[in-house]
Amino acid sequence: MSYVGPDFDPPQPRRPRRRPLVVALAALVPGALLGWAVYAAVGAPGDAGGAAVSAPGSPSASAPARDDGKKPTAGTSPTAGTTPTAGTAPAASPSPSRSRAAARGPLAGKVVVIDPGHNPGNFRHTAAINRQVDIGTNRKECDTTGTSTNSGYTEARFTLDVAHRLRDLLQRQGATVKLTQDGDRPYGPCVDERARIGNTAHADAVVSIHADGSAAGNRGFHVILPEAVHAGAADTRPIVGPSQDLGARIAGNFVRVTGSAPSNYVGDGTGLVTRKDLGGLNLSTVPKVFIECGNMRDSKDAALLTSGAWRQKAAQGISEGIVSFLRG
């Protein structure tokens, strides 16, 4: 996703920090501080050294408003949209022995939905993904193409790769894992359908995986939390609290496992941002967060995002945050 471009909403004013999340983050301070200390001591991967980063605080509402992704980038050759295949992408079926082992895991009985942002085929179906859908507060595009690194590694490829790694880790813990898409449909699903998939599954947690497309020099990850919204079909009030808890746990574990720092351009150094303009969050009735794992347009972040070893760490950090949330 990208924070820049003529088609995105203007920046929203800052709002006072919310006290309830401070309590949730307090429980994460020991682990998170350890991760921050490691980062400060050895620096971000690929850097000669690291700058000290403060421990996370409450979420910031200072992020410029943007949609669930980006417009098609120049250089593509999109064609008119076609009708997507029905249903959602099923997770790969584990072997019987693996299923029995998973059923005995600590997450047995828990359902996790992983939402890989965008779809590799979106750029071929611009007419379809540009159609407007209701997100409660207003109407937005069905979906977008996502961003890419300067060398052409796409966000859609990145999100699917991390989703597969995350699915494997969670299944080993005994969780039932569903993906909103697995690159096996022409485009989409639209943001409203992505929310419905998690709702219909009665998911205990949903994580939407993304990578940002901000300006060079903007670095780090951030987790996007739902703001309290009650408008039209959207009512996030019941999920704001648990989603904040889920997001804080993912942020703390992500920095500890990957060594990456929180975003230096949104979130006031906390790695947490609250937004009300994303249909995938507005329409969710179960705990859900987005994670922007890094900035694809920054060369240092891009070096991490294109590394299979780092993507495994990213999946591990997200997984440990989810496990921590589900186990309380």
Please choose, from the candidates 180, 186, 188, 189, the residue with its C-alpha nearest in 3D space to the C-alpha of residue 209: 180
Phi and psi (nearest 5°) for 150? -65, -25
Which sign does the torsion angle of CA 14, 17, 21, 26 carry?
Answer: positive
Q: Give the DSSP letter string of 227-259.
A: ---EETTEE-TTTHHHHHHHHHHHHHHHHHHH-
CA distance 255 to 291: 12
11, 48, 216, 279, 291 from 265: Cα distances, Å: 13, 21, 11, 23, 15
Q: Nearest 5°: CA angle at 119, between 255 and 89?
A: 95
Residues with a known catalytic role: 292
Task: Give the number of other CB atoms < 10 A from CB of residue 192.
Answer: 19
106 token code pair:
């600590």
CA distance 35 to 256: 4
Q: Nearest 5°: CA angle at 32, between 29 and 36?
A: 125
Q: What share of the chain is helix, strand, coil (3-state, %, to 5)?
A: 35, 15, 50
The answer to whether the CB of 139 falls within 8 A of the CB of 96 is: no
